[in-house]
Chains A and B, each alone.
Chain A
Amino acid sequence: MKKVLALASLAVIGFVLVSTLRLVPFGVNKMNPQVAERYLREGVARTGSVNIVTAIVVNYRGFDTLGEVTVLFLAATGLGAVLFDKRGKRTQRTPASLIVKSAALILFPLIVLLGAYVFVHGHLTPGGGFQGGVIIATGFLLMYMAFRSYDVSHTWLMAIESLAGTTFVVLGLLGLVYGRSFLYNFLPLGTANAVFSAGVIPLIYVAIGLKVGSELTGILDHLMETIR
């Protein structure tokens, strides 16, 4: 009886949601001339970032991004608190084969390099701090998978994480000191398409990249400890 009721209510909710979403036209230009159109029209000139997604994420709506970075930080901190001094059952893991080990050693620096490339060029090419950070964390995941005894220092991860977060907030506060508001882009915009352009945007993305990379590595490390 309970299951029937649950299924019936699910069906009703689903039907209402689908019929509502069908009312929203798809693929039609319904940009708000005061918001979305202005981002596209004047975004490059006023933020210096050629990647307009980055301009919106880091500059126009930078405050949201600060919040999103905090959400990830919270997830890592919360996991650390919940799994604090929890040791796993020491199940025997099969050691990785020689092929995986040797390939991991070659690939690891390349993966980290790619990650760094993605976040340093966040204002020029698709991608950015979040994506770059995740790529770096996959490099560390590969190392965890290949070597049983591989370990990253918690102290270092924590230090990078904290420093990167602090850098983001401090850059925002500097905007308050040297500019007109929190997160204000107070550095010169430079010429579009150059690596050193778009003011604080690349700096913030580097901070985000390091932060996301160290946080996800930290999460992996915590989870690895519980199965080791």
Chain B
Amino acid sequence: MLDPVLLIALPLLTAFLVPLVRRAWRPLGEALPLLTLLFDLALAISYVPRALEKPIVVIIAGWRPPLGINLTIGPLGIFMAVMILFVAVLVAIYSIWYIRVEPKERYCMLCLMLVTGSLGMVLTGDIFNLFVFMEITSISAYALTAFIRDRDGSEAAFKYLIIGSLASNFFLLGVVLIYSSTGTLNMADLAAKMPSVDPRIAVPAVILMVVGLGVESEMFPLNGWAPDAYSMAPTPIGAVFGAIVVKGAVYALARMLYTIFNFQGVIHFLVIMGIVTLLMGEMAALRQRQIKRMLAFSSIGQMGLILVALGLGTAGGLVAALFHMLNHALLKALLFLTAGYLVYHSGSKEIADMDGMGRRVPLLAVAFSIGAFGIMGLPPLNGFWSKFLVISETVKAHYVAIAALALVGSVIEAVYYLRVVGRLFFKPADERVRAARLPVSAFVSLGLLVVAVVVIGLYPGWVMHVLQPAAHELLDKSFYIHSVLGP
């Protein structure tokens, strides 16, 4: 039985080793990141049965919590880890051919550290450790945004850097406040001690943390960085933002609000913020002319839907939120990765220049349409189930008006996605765009994503099997505390 800390240690080790190995033997240096991620994915999947049975508590440096740092790998953590690693592996495969801008080795290192950081975020059981891993994730995200060294990329990265650092400082200030009143950083210990903390300190702390994590999870007034960062970063990184960076932050938000603080008022506040985020994102997406910007705003809209479900505070709502997180990760990765080649073949970022791509590069257009239909929530694709669950759970929790507004958002979404799909298939193609074939790397990664989208759509029960214990882990605070600190 391998120690689960390897999930975090191995990608980190590879990131440190890549420059050395690449100098020693180039082919191995190029293949090593992908091999590590594949091994990590297999490792994560092998822990699923054990984590579902009982959270795995991994001691680090030989000190039991709360003295040292530990990893707590419950159903929720392992679900997030598998999702992150699955998308990371596909992005790594896709990047083999797509990324040809030097320095490629630094691109690999930054991506590996981004994955390390987000895995650390979802697996750790220590709040300061969460902050450290959040820093790792976001700093690699800033650097990757500026990876294409042009003016726009640097501007987007700089904006992201400023907002992101401010956000992490807010989060850190929140950690400082609760550490000063409890003297512990272990999340289970904090959760146990929280009821006795002076609310005059706890409430500002939770607000600081929600603001800090709200930036990364694209909550409404704090998401100014997202459209630029998504559209200016290399395309695979857009997929990474939507599927990994933002999801890690939402996980942290859920963990803070449910396991540690558990203030009902703040949790329900998410419903309001979520619906505003949803409507703002969808309306902005409707007006976009560039495909990657449209996808970025659509991503903001979907995050709004997830926040609505997260704020319901019921088991059904949490299952819906987590399910939609998974589906959005897969679908947005699919959309971004296809959009990358749509832009590449048409030679333009504008939606107007994609006319007739369905005839020139049919596979690509079909993959994009599957992604678009999935996001819109057409059965039998996976997006249908989670959207249906989110809306029906919202109605069940007596937020009928919110559910109606979410449906309005879905209609707007259908309008702008169908507009693109219609252009791809039913407009005459430009003479200059020639028929092209996809490289193998793109074919494999897009193919696997399409398969995942369809299979989850046909058999949602498999995922539910993991999601229900995960939602239970969030709702039942004492279960989490006991599994870490003992009864």
Binding site for B on A (CB under 8 A): 16-17, 20-21, 23-24, 30-32, 34-36, 38-39, 59-64, 66-68, 70-71, 73-75, 77-82, 84-86, 155, 158-159, 161-163, 165-166, 169-170, 172-173, 175-176, 179-185
- Say if the beta carbon of B428 comes within 8 Å of chain A: no
Whether B139 lies near A74 (C-beta < 8 A) is yes
- Say if the beta carbon of B120 comes within 8 Å of chain A: yes
- Say yes or no: A20-B200 contact (C-beta < 8 A), given A73-B16, A74-B113: yes
Whether A77 lies near B143 (C-beta < 8 A) is yes
Whether B61 lies near A184 (C-beta < 8 A) is yes
Whether B66 lies near A17 (C-beta < 8 A) is no
Q: Using A34-B184, A166-B16, A185-B61 as known contacts, list a sample of 6 further A-B pairs with CB atoms less than 8 Å apart, ordered by residue number in A.
A: A20-B204, A60-B67, A61-B128, A74-B110, A75-B139, A162-B20
Query: Chain A contacts of B184 at CB under 8 A?
Result: 32, 34-35
Report the separation of the CA atoms of residues A81 and B61 in the bound assembly, to the nearest whole angstrom: 33
Whether B67 lies near A59 (C-beta < 8 A) is no
Pick the contact of B13: A80, A159, A166 (CB < 8 A).
A166
Pick the contact of B183: A20, A31, A62, A180 (CB < 8 A).
A31
Query: Chain B contacts of A74 at CB under 8 A?
Result: 110, 113, 136, 139-140, 143
- Say if the beta carbon of B129 comes within 8 Å of chain A: yes
Whether B143 lies near A35 (C-beta < 8 A) is no
16 contacting pairs across A/B (C-beta < 8 A): A21-B177, A23-B201, A35-B183, A61-B69, A62-B60, A63-B60, A63-B129, A67-B129, A67-B133, A67-B136, A68-B132, A81-B103, A81-B110, A82-B147, A85-B102, A181-B3
Report the separation of the CA atoms of residues A81 and B144 in the bound assembly, to the nearest whole angstrom: 9
CB within 8 Å of A: which of B1-39? 3, 5, 9, 12-13, 15-20, 23
Binding site for A on B (CB under 8 A): 3, 5, 9, 12-13, 15-20, 23, 58-63, 66-69, 102-103, 106-107, 109-110, 113, 116-117, 120, 126, 128-129, 132-133, 135-136, 139-140, 142-143, 146-147, 149, 154, 157, 173, 177, 180-184, 189, 198, 200-201, 204
Whether A17 lies near B173 (C-beta < 8 A) is yes
Pick the contact of A30: B117, B147, B183, B189 (CB < 8 A).
B183
Distance in angstroms from A132 CB to nearest chain B CB is 20
Query: Chain A contacts of B116 at CB under 8 A?
Result: 70
- Residue in A closest to B114 when the chains form the complex, CB atoms: A74
Query: Chain A contacts of B103 at CB under 8 A?
Result: 80-81, 84
Whether A169 lies near B146 (C-beta < 8 A) is no
Report the separation of the CA atoms of residues A170 and B12 in the bound assembly, to the nearest whole angstrom: 11
- Residue in B closest to A74 when the chains form the complex, CB atoms: B139
Whether A182 lies near B135 (C-beta < 8 A) is no
Report the separation of the CA atoms of residues A162 and B157 in the bound assembly, to the nearest whole angstrom: 26
- Say yes or no: A183-B13 contact (C-beta < 8 A), given A17-B204, A24-B201, A81-B106: no
Secondary structure call for the A interface: helix
Pick the contact of B149: A23, A70, A82, A163 (CB < 8 A).
A82
Query: Chain B contacts of A181 at CB under 8 A?
Result: 3, 5, 58-62
Pick the contact of B3: A16, A63, A176 (CB < 8 A).
A176
Distance in angstroms from B110 CB to nearest chain A CB is 6
Distance in angstroms from A53 CB to nearest chain B CB is 15
- Residue in B closest to A58 when the chains form the complex, CB atoms: B61
Whether A86 lies near B149 (C-beta < 8 A) is yes
- Residue in B closest to A180 when the chains form the complex, CB atoms: B62
Report the separation of the CA atoms of residues A79 and B66 in the bound assembly, to the nearest whole angstrom: 36
Whether A81 lies near B132 (C-beta < 8 A) is no
Query: Chain A contacts of B110 at CB under 8 A?
Result: 74, 77-78, 81
Whether A60 lies near B139 (C-beta < 8 A) is no
Closest 10 CB pairs of A and B: A32-B183, A78-B143, A165-B16, A67-B132, A183-B61, A81-B106, A182-B5, A20-B204, A169-B13, A63-B69
Report the separation of the CA atoms of residues A71 and B117 in the bound assembly, to the nearest whole angstrom: 10
Report the separation of the CA atoms of residues A152 and B103 in the bound assembly, to the nearest whole angstrom: 20
- Residue in A closest to B5 when the chains form the complex, CB atoms: A182
Query: Chain A contacts of B149 at CB under 8 A?
Result: 82, 84, 86
Distance in angstroms from A40 CB to nearest chain B CB is 12
Whether A81 lies near B107 (C-beta < 8 A) is yes
Report the separation of the CA atoms of residues A184 and B69 in the bound assembly, to the nearest whole angstrom: 12
